[in-house]
Amino acid sequence: MKIKVGDIKIFKIKNRKGYAAMCKGHLTEGRTLYQVYERMLKALKRSKIEVVGKVSDIKKLLKKSM
């Protein structure tokens, strides 16, 4: 299965340090935007989901409210 990079939603965790990412039933956490993005790619890869495309600015994936 293939998905677009834009399907990954990254958001700031309230009352904690760090960020979280959600995509296709996967949830990952990390201290930085880059760390949480890499962890999400790894989780999707384990489920045999391929992410198509590259992100030019990772801050574009950051959602203001969830």
Q: Which two tokens stand for residue 10?
A: 């990254």
| Entry pTM | 0.86
Q: Please, what are the domains in the chain? A: 2-53 (3.30.160)
> Along the 66 residues of the chain, how does pLDDT read in single tens digits?
999 998 999 999 989 899 999 999 999 999 999 999 999 999 999 999 999 988 888 888 888 755
Contact yes or no for 25/2 (Cβ under 8 A): no
Contact yes or no for 43/28 (Cβ under 8 A): yes
